[in-house]
Amino acid sequence: MNFSFFVLLSLAGTLLAALVSCISAKGQGHRAVMTLLALSTGLGAIASAVFLLSGQSQLAISQSVWFFSTPFALSTLSALFFFLLNTVACLASVYAIKYVEQYAEIYNVRVLDGLMAIFVLGMQGVLLSSAPFGFLVFWEVMSISSFFLVMADKQAASVRAALFYLIMTHLGAGAILAGFLILSGSSIFEPFTRLAVLAQSLPPQTLFGVFLLFLFGFGSKAGLVPFHVWLPEAHPQAPSHISALMSGVMLKMALYGFLVMTFSVLPIRSSTEALIVIALGLLSAVYGVIYAVIERDVKRVLAFSSIENMGIIFTMIGVAMLVKSQGMDTFAHVAIGAALLFAIAHAFFKSGLFMGAGVMVHAAHSRSLEVMGGFSKRMPVFSGSMLILALAAAALPPFSAFMAEWTFIQNLVANLSQMSPFIQGVLVLVLVTMALVGGLALFAMIKLFGIGFLAEPRSEHAAHAKAPDALIAVPIFALAALTIFVGACAPWILSIIGFADLTSFETWHTNLVVAEATLNPLVLFDVLIALFLVVFVARRLLSNKKHERPYHTWDCGQPITSGMEYTATAFSSPIRFFFRMITRTKKNVIATPVLASNPWIASRIFSLDLRQIWYDVLYVPIQHACLWTSTQVRKLQNGVIQFYIALIFIALVVTLTIAL
Amino acid sequence: MSFPKLLNRLFLGPRVTEKQESFLKTDEEFETVGAELKSIVINLYGGRSLRIRAVDGGSTNAEEIELTALNNAYYDIDRFGLSFVASPRHADMVWVTGPVTRNLERAVRTTYEAAPEPCIVVAIGDGACTGGIWKDSYAVVGALDKVIPVHIKIPGDPPTPTQILRGVLNALKQSSSK
Amino acid sequence: MITLSLWNNVFMGGTLLFAIVMMGKPRLPAMLRYFALSSLCLAGLIVTSSLMHGEEQPYTIAAINVFFKVILAPLILMFAAKKVHASMALKFYLRPTATYFVALLILLVSVFVSMKMPGAPYLSIALVLLGLMFMIVRKDLYSQIIGFMTMENGIAAYGVLMIGGFPFMIETGILFVVITGAVLMAVLSRHVQELYATGDTESLTELTE
C-alpha cells in the first residue's frame, strides 16, 4: 500500500485547510475549515497507524527539487509521534468547532483557524524531515505560528507571554541551528544518517559542545528547568485547544528531536552528558510538581504538570544514556521503551485535561480554581472523563502512565546490583526522586479534580454551568478512552513500536515482562472492573432499600455555603509551607482603620504572592546586567556626527593595521 | 503565726470540715435505676451502648449542666451503657433541652431528621416539655412537640439526674414493649 | 604611450592635489570649486586610463562624470545654500593649517597601506581616507556631502585603475549616489537652516535625547 501518498495527502489537506480559512468570508467557513483539518489529520493518523502495524521500518516520502531536494521520510519513531500528533490534532479540531464559536467576539476566527492549520502543518513537517534544513524550516513555522496563537485574545498578559515565548523559542532554534551547522560542517542539506557518519570524526570537546547546544535548544522547547519559564506563561494564555496541542504534542516534537540527535546522530561516549540530562530531568520533575500543587489557576497547574512529566521522561532518557555509556544496552533499551510509553500516555491525557480545562474555564468565566466546584453534579459525563484523565495524570493503575513508570522502576531495581557504586548511587537518587514526584503529582491531581469538580459551586457562574455540547465533550471522552486503551494494551503497543522484548505472549493475552517480573495490564484492568461490578451488585442485592431515606448532608444545624469549603490555596498550603525556600511566598496584610477613634476595627486586605526562584536568581540579574551595559554604552551617544565618523575612521585604521 | 501555735490550731482547734459520711454516701435510688437501665440497654441494643445526641434548643443552661453532671465521676452514666455522640447520624436517642427559640428551630428539626429511625426523642426540662415561662414569647416557638414528635417528657427546672435516668428508663421500656 | 602615461600621472596628481587643497578652504564656493577641479582631473584619469588599457569609448563616461560631478552637484549645493541664505563662511573644528598637517599624515599612512596591500592603488586609498577625514573635521552640512563624494571619487579611481575601463553599471551606481546625496543634503540643510538658523551641526546634538 502506498503510505507515502496518504501521508502527503494529509499534509496537503492541512495546507488546504489553512488556505481555505484565509479566503473564506468573515464569519463563515469555520466549520468547513475545522472539518477539513480533522479529516486530513485523521487520514494522517490512520496512515501512520497502518504503517506501524505493517512492521516496515523506513518509508521514503518524497524528495522534491522544489524544496532543495531535502529528503522526507518516515521511520518507526517518527511514525509513532506522527500518529500522536494527528490523533490529538483531529480531536482538537473537532473540539474547536463549537469551542471557538463560543468565543467568536474575542478571537479573530479566520486567523485562528488558519494559524492552527499552519501550526499542525509545521509539526507534521518536523516529523517527516530527515535532513536539518527541512527540520529547521518546519520548526520555525511551528514556532512562529504558535507565537501568534498564544496572543490570540490580544490582551496585555497574552502579548507579554507570547513575546517571552518567542524569545525563548528563537534562542532555542538558534542553538539547534548552531548544533546542526557544527555537526554537518556547514551543509544542512545532508540527511541525518550522513550526519551520524560525520559525527564520528569530530573531537570529543566539539561533540560535547554540540550536545549542550542541542540540550538547550530542545530542552527549552520541552520545558526543562531552568529554561522552562515561558511555559507556565504561554500555555494558559492560548485558547484551550491550542494549549492542548502545544502541551500535548509540541513538547513531543522537542522530545523527538532530542531522541533522534542523542541516540541516532551523536555517538554516546561519556557519562557526563547523561548525568547532566538526569540532573535537569529530576530538577524539572520536582520543581514542576511543587508548583503544580501550589498554583490556583487551572491551566497553570496543567502547564506545571507538563513540566513535571517532561522532567520524568528526560530522566528516563538520561538513565538510558548513562547505562548505555556503561555498555548495558538492554537496560538502555527498556528505559527508552518506558520513556516512549510515558510520552504516548502524556500526549493523550494532557491534551484531554487541557480541553477539559477549557470547558471548566468557560463554565466558571474565570481560570481560577477558587471559583469553580460543583461541576460533577451538573456535568456528570464530562466529570467522569476528567476523573479518568486526572487519575491517568497521577500515574495510577490501570492507566498508561502507570505502566510506563512500572516498567522503568522495575527495570531499575532489577539491574541495580550489577552497577558500579557511583551509578548505583545515581540510580537510587533517581528512584527516590521519582517516588517523591509521584506522590506530589497525585496531590496536584486530587486538588485539581476535588476543588474543581466536587462539593458545591463557589460562584454564581459555576452554579449555572450546563453540560457541554456533544462536539466539545466527545473529544475529551475519546481521549479518556484512549488513555484506558493505551494502559490496558500497553504490551501490544510496545511490541508495535519495536520493543517486543518487553512483552511475552501467553495463550490469549500479552504480558509486560521486565527482567523476570511480569504484569498483565489487561488482566489488571479487568480485575478492577470486576471489583467495581461485584461491589455494585452486592450492594444492590444486600442492602435494604425500602428503609432508605435520602437526606442532605449533616450541616451541624446551620446551612452550608460554598464559603465553608476547602479552597485550593488552603489545600496546598502544607506543601507551600514545606517548600517555602523555593516558592518564596510573600504574605501581605494591609489594615486600614474604619473608625478614627478605634484602631482595632479595621478593614484588612490580604494578598499572597508567589515568585519563582528562577526569576530572582537567574533571570533578574541577567536583566540588570544587560540594562547596565546598555546604559554604559549609551554614554557614547553624544550627538555629534563627526564623533561617530571619527569612530568609523579609527575602526578602519585599526582594521587595516591588524589585517596587514 | 508561730509554729507551736500552728500545731495547736491544727490538732486541738475546732472542726471546720464536713464529715466524710455526710457527702460520700452513695445515692441508692440512682444506683438501682442505673442497674435496671443497664440491663434493658444490653437487652435492646445487643451488648452495644445507647447513643445519645444532646441538642440545646435555647435553654437557660440549667438542664445542660445537669446533663454534664451525668458524665462526671460521681454519676458516671457510661457504666450503664449510655454514651454521648457528636453526630446525629450515629444517634439512637435525641435529648432536647430548652424551649425551641426561633433561631434554633431549624437546627433542632434538621438534627431530628438527620438521625436514622428508630430514634427516641426525649424532652428534658420544663422549657422543652411545655414552653416554661417563655411559652407565649415572640422569640420562642414553644414546647418541643410543636417542632418534632416527642416520645418522653421529663419535667423539672432542672430535673435531677435520677429523674432524668428514670425518664430514659421509661422511654426504653415503652419502646421495647411496642 | 609615453605621453599617455605622463598624462595619466598628471591627472592622478591633479586629483589628489585639488582634494588636499579643498580641505583647507574656509569658504563654501572655494570648496566647491576645488571639488569640481578634482572631479575634472578624475574624468581625465578615466580617459587616459581607458586608453592605456585599450578600452574604447571612454569619452562618454568621462563626459557623464564631468557633467554630474563637476557641474551639477556643486550647482545644486550652491543653489540650496543661496536659497536659505546660509553663511558662506564655513565653520570647522581644525584651522586650515592644522588640516593640511593632518592631510599630510594621512598621505603618509596611505603610502604604508598601499605598500602592504598590493592590490589597491595609492590614489584610491588616499582619497577615501581624505574624504573620511574631511567629514570629521568640518562642522557644517555641506562638507559632509562633499567628503562623501570625495570617497566616491576614490572608489571610482580604484575601479578605473584596476580594471582599465569603467563598467557602465558601476558608473551609473556611483552617479546616482552622488546626485541623490546632493539633493538630499540640499533638502536637509534647508530644513536645518529653517529650524536652527545656522548650518551648524552642533545644534543637532540635542536630537539625541
Q: Which amino acid is at B75?
A: Y
Give backbone dihedrals phi and psi of A596, rounded to 5 degrees, phi first.
-70, -25
Indicate the pairing of strand A517-519 with strand A509-514.
Answer: antiparallel
Q: Chains A vs B: touching, with 3+ CB pairs under 8 Å? A: yes
* pLDDT given for residue A242 in this prediction: 93
Q: Which amino acid is at B43?
A: N
Distance from the Cα of A469 to chain C's closest Cα (Å) equals 58
Nearest to C37 by CA among C150, C116, C124, C188: C150
- Band of residue A515 on the pLDDT scale cut at 50, 70, 90: low
The residues in A 530-589 lying below 8 A from B, measured between CB atoms, are: 547, 549, 551, 554-558
pLDDT digits (tens, 9 = 90+) for B40-60: 999 888 889 999 999 999 899
Helix (H, G, I), strand (E, B) or coil at B93: strand
- Band of residue A564 on the pLDDT scale cut at 50, 70, 90: confident
Indicate the pairing of strand B82-84 with strand A602-609.
Answer: unpaired
pLDDT digits (tens, 9 = 90+) for C163-189: 766 677 777 788 888 888 888 887 887
Nearest Cβ partner for C116 among A641, A642, A660: A660
Q: Which residue of B has its CA nearest to A547?
A: B117
Indicate the pairing of strand B152-154 with strand B120-124.
Answer: parallel
As a whole number, mean pLDDT of residues C63-72 equals 77
CA neighbours closer than 13 Å in the CB half-sphere of residue A527: 8
Say if residues B157 and B132 touch (Cβ distance below 8 Å).
yes
Q: What is the mean pLDDT of chain B?
A: 89
Give the C-alpha separation, A279 to A314, whole Å: 9
* pLDDT given for residue C208 in this prediction: 65
Nearest to A213 by CA among A180, A187, A168, A253: A180
CA distances from A140 to A118, A171, A242, A262, B176 (A): 11, 12, 17, 21, 84
C-alpha cell at A68: 532543495
State in Å, rounded, how far the first CA of chain B is from the last one: 71
C-alpha cell at C106: 594621512
Could you tell me which residues are beta bridge partners of residue A58?
A75
Say if residues C186 and C76 touch (Cβ distance below 8 Å).
yes
* pLDDT given for residue A506 in this prediction: 58
Which of A211-220, A323-332, B161-170, C45-54 shows the lowest mean pLDDT across its residues?
A: C45-54
Give backbone dihedrals phi and psi of B59, rounded to 5 degrees, phi first.
-90, 180
Element holding C29 (H helix, E strand): helix C28-53
Residue with grid cell 477539513, as numbered in its chain? A36
DSSP letter (8 states) at residue B122: E
Q: Cβ contacts (< 8 Å) between A554 and chain B: which residues?
A: 87-89, 110, 114
Residue with grid cell 516498567, as numbered in its chain? A407
Distance from the Cα of B115 to chain A's closest Cα (Å) equals 9
Higher pLDDT, A362 or A55: A362
Percent of chain A exceeding pLDDT 90 equals 41
Residue A647, chain C, CB below 8 Å: the answer is no
Nearest to C125 by CA among C112, C142, C138: C112
Give the C-alpha separation, A397 to A345, whole Å: 12
Distance from the Cα of C194 to chain A's closest Cα (Å) equals 19
Tell me whether residue A574 is exposed, middle or buried, using C-beta atoms within 10 angstroms of its C-beta: 0 to 12, 13 to 18, 19 or more. exposed
pLDDT digits (tens, 9 = 90+) for A491-503: 888 888 877 666 6
Domain boundaries, chain B: 23-177
Q: How many helices (H) and strands (E) does chain C have?
A: 8, 0
Residue with grid cell 451538573, as numbered in its chain? A378
Nearest to A6 by CA among A50, A69, A66, A36: A50
Helix pair C58-65, C28-53: axis angle to 10 deg: 170
Q: Which amino acid is at A232?
A: P
User: Is 60 exceeded by the pLDDT of residue A121?
Assistant: yes
Class of domain B23-177: alpha beta
Q: Is the peptide bond before C118 cis (omega within 30 degrees of 0)?
A: no
Helix (H, G, I), strand (E, B) or coil at B60: coil
* pLDDT given for residue C42 in this prediction: 87
Q: Choosing among B102, B110, B119, which should be mutated to test the A contact, i.e. which has the most A CBs within 10 A?
A: B110
Residue A639, chain C, CB below 8 Å: the answer is yes
Torsion sign over Cα A142, A146, A148, A149: positive
Say if residues A245 and A92 touch (Cβ distance below 8 Å).
yes
Q: Which amino acid is at A388?
A: I
pLDDT digits (tens, 9 = 90+) for A432-482: 999 999 999 999 999 999 999 998 899 998 889 888 888 999 999 999 999
Residue with grid cell 531495581, as numbered in its chain? A413
DSSP string for residues in A616-642: IIIIHHHHHHHHHHHHHHHTT--S-HH
Higher pLDDT, C65 or B110: B110
Q: Cβ contacts (< 8 Å) between B107 and chain A: which residues?
A: 556-558
pLDDT digits (tens, 9 = 90+) for B55-90: 999 899 999 999 998 888 888 889 899 999 999 999
Q: Chains B vs C: touching, with 3+ CB pairs under 8 Å? A: no
Higher pLDDT, C192 or A138: A138
Residue with grid cell 508548583, as numbered in its chain? A291
Long-range contacts of A183-186 (CB under 8 A, 24+ apart): A183/A210, A183/A265, A184/A132
Say if residues A194 and A264 touch (Cβ distance below 8 Å).
no
Q: Which amino acid is at A389?
A: L
* pLDDT given for residue A346 in this prediction: 95
Q: Is the peptide bond before B158 cis (omega within 30 degrees of 0)?
A: yes
pLDDT digits (tens, 9 = 90+) for A214-224: 999 999 999 99
Higher pLDDT, A441 or A202: A441
User: Is 60 exceeded by the pLDDT of residue A179?
Assistant: yes
As a whole number, mean pLDDT of residues A569-594 equals 85
How many other CB atoms are there within 10 angstroms of residue A221's CB atom?
Answer: 27
Distance from the Cα of B89 to chain A's closest Cα (Å) equals 8
Higher pLDDT, A560 or B66: B66
Q: Cβ contacts (< 8 Å) between A645 and chain C: which residues?
A: 132, 135-136
Between chains, do C132 and A638 touch, taking CB under 8 Å as contact? no
Residue with grid cell 485547544, as numbered in its chain? A241
Residue C135, chain A, CB below 8 Å: the answer is yes
Say if residues B39 and B176 touch (Cβ distance below 8 Å).
no
Give the C-alpha separation, B124 to B141, whole Å: 16
ipTM: 0.74
Return the CA Rg of chain A. Answer: 27
- Per-residue three-class SS string for A575-610: HHHHCHHHHCCEEEEEEEECCCCCCCCEEEEEEEEC
CA neighbours closer than 13 Å in the CB half-sphere of residue B21: 0
Contacts with A486 (C-beta within 8 Å, 6 or more apart), sequence order:
A341, A344, A345, A348, A399, A400, A493
Torsion sign over Cα A545, A549, A555, A557: negative
Cα B80 to chain center, whole Å? Answer: 14
Q: What is the mean pLDDT of chain A?
A: 87
Say if residues A288 and A251 touch (Cβ distance below 8 Å).
no
Give the C-alpha separation, C152 to C157, whole Å: 9
Between chains, do A555 and B108 touch, taking CB under 8 Å as contact? no
Domain boundaries, chain C: 2-203
Helix pair A3-23, A30-54: axis angle to 10 deg: 170
Give the C-alpha separation, A641 to A518, whole Å: 79
Tell me whether residue A463 is exposed, middle or buried, using C-beta atoms within 10 angstroms of its C-beta: 0 to 12, 13 to 18, 19 or more. middle
* pLDDT given for residue A392 in this prediction: 93
User: Is 80 exceeded by the pLDDT of residue A185?
Assistant: no
